[in-house]
């Protein structure tokens, strides 16, 4: 079956999408244009150390991660801080690179880190490259995930108790 859309330019780049899923009430599939158009934009001028090429300086613009994921409705009781503090976010990039953040890092009642889902990098739109996770508070760039494909939200529940409790050997 031919997947070509009638009238579409076969050489045109297709905008990348990122999926928000896991323990959320409203899973989402978003483009960079959605990130730019649906949420307030924030600018972050960052310098981070890259292990392979030294200091990198960039300006990113995009919405706050907490606002975008918040609109997907994480399955916690927002009125209960301890409930919110149990949640994690796992962000996966197009190259398979992953980063994990605690919801408490980005929550305004806890760390309030201004983590972005970048829609532009140094003034250039990321529509075909895909959104980038930007953690301005990080000194190194390991959690700067490019071409985000999935943001998973949820809790890690222990499968069972560990062998040997406190004080046991």
Which of 57, 2, 58, 62 has the alpha carbon at shortest distance from 38? Answer: 62
Per the prediction, the chain carries an average pLDDT of 87
- Domain enclosing residue 68, as ranges: 34-155
- Phi and psi based region of residue 51 (left: phi greater than 0; alpha: psi -120 to 50; beta: remaining): alpha
pTM for the model stands at: 0.84
CA 17/CA 87 separation, integer angstroms: 23
The verdict on residue 3 lying in a domain is: no
- CATH number for position 149: 3.90.420.10
Across the range 107-128, mean pLDDT stands at 96
Instruction: Tell me what pLDDT residue 158 has.
Output: 42
User: Tens of pLDDT along 24-69?
Assistant: 999 999 999 999 999 999 999 999 888 788 898 999 999 999 999 9
Instruction: Tell me what pLDDT residue 12 has.
Output: 62
Across the range 78-99, mean pLDDT stands at 93
């Amino acid at each position: 079956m031919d997947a070509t859309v009638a009238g579409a330019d076969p050489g045109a780049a297709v905008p990348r999408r990122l999926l928000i899923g896991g323990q959320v009430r409203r899973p989402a599939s978003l483009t960079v244009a959605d990130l730019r158009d649906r949420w307030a934009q924030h600018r972050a001028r960052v310098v981070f150390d890259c292990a392979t090429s030294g200091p990198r300086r960039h300006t990113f613009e995009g919405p706050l991660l907490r606002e975008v994921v918040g609109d997907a409705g994480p399955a916690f009781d927002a009125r209960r801080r301890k409930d919110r503090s149990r949640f994690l976010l796992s962000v996966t990039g197009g190259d398979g690179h992953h980063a994990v953040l605690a919801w408490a890092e980005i929550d305004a009642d806890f760390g309030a880190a201004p983590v972005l889902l970048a829609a532009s990098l140094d003034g250039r739109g990321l529509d075909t490259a895909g959104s980038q996770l930007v953690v301005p508070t990080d000194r190194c760039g390991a959690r700067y995930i490019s071409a985000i494909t999935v943001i998973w939200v949820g809790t890690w529940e222990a499968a069972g108790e560990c062998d040997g409790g406190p004080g046991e050997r």
